[in-house]
Amino acid sequence: MLELGCGGGVFADELALAHAPAPVVALDLLLHALAYAQHRAAHLWSVQGDLHDLAFADRTFGLVTALDVVDQREVDPAAALTEIHRVLQPHGWLLVRVSAHGWLQGAHDQAFNTGRRYARAELLALLAGAGFVVSRVTYVNLLLAGPIAAVRLLQRWRLAPFLPALYQNRLADALLRRSLAVEAGWLSHRDLPLGISLCVLAQKADSASSRM
């Protein structure tokens, strides 16, 4: 398994624990992120790399995850998805999450290097163009979508300041964690019709399917 843009390695560590002893590779462009990931989970194979030019052989991985990566400012999404397709095994899986709704673009995205927010149809077209067959599509981050969207729009219209301290607030963090835990229970059975992010599970098409 390969996680692209692993950051501090939290999700890669969860993958490794859930699917032991299967190996997990945690890849990021930033060395300080990799150092932190390696510190928290020494069993991870941490690799510095660029998702436009992955230093792995064709058909290496059964699963690639790209959470909040394809929407980053410096990323060419079509090129990145093509490279992900290359390193996946036949019928391998891709889990991708991106920011949704272009009308929410604002100060938050600038602070977190989000280059674009995707419409559902736009993301699905990109995946199909790269040779993926979509298995599941759902929005995520629904329960707090209302207040989050309100704050983002007020910031975009310069009616409210961007407050970095909010992202270090323990109460806000606990509320977000709780809402995501509730959503996780729902998503184990069914999709969400709305939310501020999009999640897609897609499978690498075989050669015969891609020619049809």
CA-based radius of gyration for the chain = 17
What does the alpha-carbon distance between residue 80 and residue 100 come to, in Å, rounded to a whole number? 18
C-alpha 45 chain-centroid distance:
19
Residue ranges in the chain modelled with pLDDT below 50: 208-212
Residue pLDDT, tens place only, 47-75: 999 999 999 999 999 999 999 999 999 99
**Average pLDDT, whole number, for the chain?**
93
Other C-beta atoms closer than 10 Å to the C-beta of 101 total 19
Q: What is the pLDDT of residue 210?
A: 45
Q: Is residue 19 part of a domain?
A: no
Q: Is 212 part of any domain?
A: no
How confident is the model at residue 201, as a pLDDT?
98
pLDDT for 110: 93
Asked if the structure places residue 39 within a domain, the reply is no
Is residue 9 included in any domain, yes or no? Answer: no
> For residue 103, is it within any domain?
yes
Report pLDDT for 208.
Answer: 46
Residue 202 covered by a domain: yes
Domain CATH for 169: 3.40.50.150
Q: Which domain holds residue 137?
A: 50-206
pTM, entire model: 0.92
Indicate whether 54 belongs to any domain.
yes
| 73 close to 114: Cβ distance less than 8 angstroms | yes
Number of domains in the chain: 1
Given this model, what pLDDT does residue 195 score?
96
pLDDT at residue 41 in the model: 82
Residue 25 domain-assigned (yes or no)? no
Ramachandran region of residue 206, left (φ > 0), alpha (ψ -120 to 50) or beta? beta
